[in-house]
Amino acid sequence: MGSGQVMVMLLLLSCVAFEPADGAFLSWSESVLQLFSTAEQPSACGPKVGIETPKCKVILKKRDYELRRCNSKEIWVETMLENSTYESATITGFYRCTNSLGFEITAPVYITPVPRSNGYKVAFFVSSRIKNVNDLPTSTDPEVYFYRPEGAVKAVLGPFGGFPTDKDYAAKVVELKKALDRDGLKYDEKSTLFADYSSPLQFRNRKQEVHVNIISHNAFERLHVLKWLPQ
Ligand SMILES: *[C@@H]1O[C@H](CO)[C@@H](O)[C@H](O)[C@H]1NC(C)=O
């Protein structure tokens, strides 16, 4: 079968699969494009930075953001910095999490603003070579803890470059939330975080994103149509 025929078949399929009942959240041409892009690299997700990053699957690509389905099998190491500025939280958080543990370097670092504590949570993704909680080193710092995130659908804006300050990140968050509001997707404010994929010593080609979890049941219903994409 030639690629032209495949294309025609996909177009036909997409007409069948996408009923306009839900207000045509995805136009079918958009979905076909998306099918092609996901079919190309089924496991690739998020910026490529040459070190291990968490597995996820892009389920929707929009002009200004994408939705990723993230699994819940991975382990993260995290610390909470109360009464802290963004700059000091990232530096202290980095040393606390990496010092005693000796992990392979991975990306990204998640920095979550916690307004009620006037500070930030800083978390690192633990290499997937550590599969079992029992294989984790014992943390010598009581302020450092491990956790497995819940599986989630995340809305992501980025990557963007430079050395963003907390204000720069906050502006990107506003941009992301505007786009989600426009598309009628509900999100969990508390899950808002900054994702930094670049070492502080890297000056060019830096990559950062902002994330927020999609929550509403209704939103998942509207996304249901994406099950048609190859898994
Ligand atoms: C942060 O500030 C609050 C209010 O001043 C204080 O009660 C709390 O103990 C501080 N936390 C830390 C870890 O210093």
- According to the model, what pLDDT value does residue 142 have? 81
Q: Rounded to 5 degrees, what are φ and ψ at 189?
A: -50, -40
| 154 & 220 share domain | yes
Decide: 82 in ligand 1 pocket, CB within 6 A: yes
For the chain, the domain total comes to: 2
Name the residue range of residue 120's domain. Answer: 75-147
Q: Which two tokens stand for residue 93?
A: 């958080």
Indicate which atom in ligand 1 lies nearest the CA of residue 83.
1
State which of 103, 121, 147 marks the end of a domain: 147
State which of 147, 163, 188 marks the end of a domain: 147
Q: Which of 79, 80, 82 to mutate to test the pocket of ligand 1 (most atoms within 8 A of CB)?
A: 82
- According to the model, what pLDDT value does residue 153 have? 86
- According to the model, what pLDDT value does residue 119 have? 97
| 67 & 154 share domain | yes
State which of 147, 167, 187 marks the end of a domain: 147
| 154 & 61 share domain | yes
| 143 & 154 share domain | no
| 10 & 59 share domain | yes
For ligand 1, atom 12, name the residue with the nearest CA. 82
Indicate which atom in ligand 1 lies nearest the CA of residue 119.
1
| 163 & 211 share domain | yes
The predicted model scores a pTM of 0.76
Decide: 141 in ligand 1 pocket, CB within 6 A: no
| 14 & 58 share domain | yes
| 51 & 159 share domain | yes
| 154 & 221 share domain | yes
| 213 & 158 share domain | yes
| 100 & 167 share domain | no
Q: pLDDT truncated to tens, each residue of the chain (231 aa)?
A: 454 444 444 433 333 333 333 333 444 344 434 443 444 333 668 898 989 999 888 888 889 999 998 877 788 899 999 999 999 999 999 888 887 567 788 899 999 999 999 999 999 988 888 888 788 877 778 888 888 887 788 999 999 999 999 999 999 999 999 999 988 888 999 999 999 999 888 999 999 999 999 885 554 444 443 433 333
- According to the model, what pLDDT value does residue 201 have? 86
| 209 & 99 share domain | no
- According to the model, what pLDDT value does residue 136 have? 82
